[in-house]
Each structure stands twice: as structure tokens, then as C-alpha cells.
Amino acid sequence: MREALLPVMSVAVLVLTAAGIVWRARNKQWVRDAQLGLNAQPRLSLILPVLMVLFAAVMVVLGVGSLEAGFTFGWGYFPLALAALFFVGFIAWIARRPFPLD
């Protein structure tokens, strides 16, 4: 039972992350403010996506290592890596949008 907890909780985090991203993407004012914030400090705004990609890579390495060692809870690391990549994709989507004219 305990070894199924990490994969189940990881899938829950993945679903909540996807729902939160969809919820935020529907708010045009929030997306505009986020885009203006990304434009204000372009080099500084790269820190979070780079750290999230590194986090995703570490989660994949931990997942593969756990599965190779014979632990079934290793599957739980892959949804966490995917959630981190969702964040990176959302930030890239905001940054690639046309700049607001108002």
C-alpha cells in the first residue's frame, strides 16, 4: 500500500498542475501581466524554466534508478517530471504570445 502512495500522489499533482495552468491561461488579464513581467527582466525570467528542466531531468534519473533497483514507486517520479515540463511549456507559451498593444 505504501509503495503505491508516491505514484498516486504524483498523478494527483500532475492533474492539479494541468488544471491550474488551464485555469490561469483562461484569464487574459493575468496572462498579459505575466507577459509584461517576463518582458521586464528577460534574463532573470530564464532562471525558473532552467531550474524546472533540471528538476525534470533529476526526476527522470531518480525514476529510472528506482525502477532499475526494483522499486515500483519509481513510476511516481515521471508524472512529477511531466508537471515540471508543463510549467516550462506554459512559461514558453506566455513568452511567445504577441505583445499586448495597450
Q: Give me the helix-helix angle, 5-25 and 28-40, nearest 10°.
A: 90
| Cβ count near 47 (within 10 Å) | 10
Name 33's Cβ contacts closer than 8 Å, sequence gap at least 6: none
Per-residue pLDDT of the chain in tens (102 residues, 90 and over written 9): 777 888 999 999 999 999 999 999 999 999 999 998 888 888 889 999 999 999 999 999 999 999 999 998 899 999 999 999 999 999 999 999 888 776
Question: What is the pLDDT, as a whole number, of residue 102?
Answer: 66
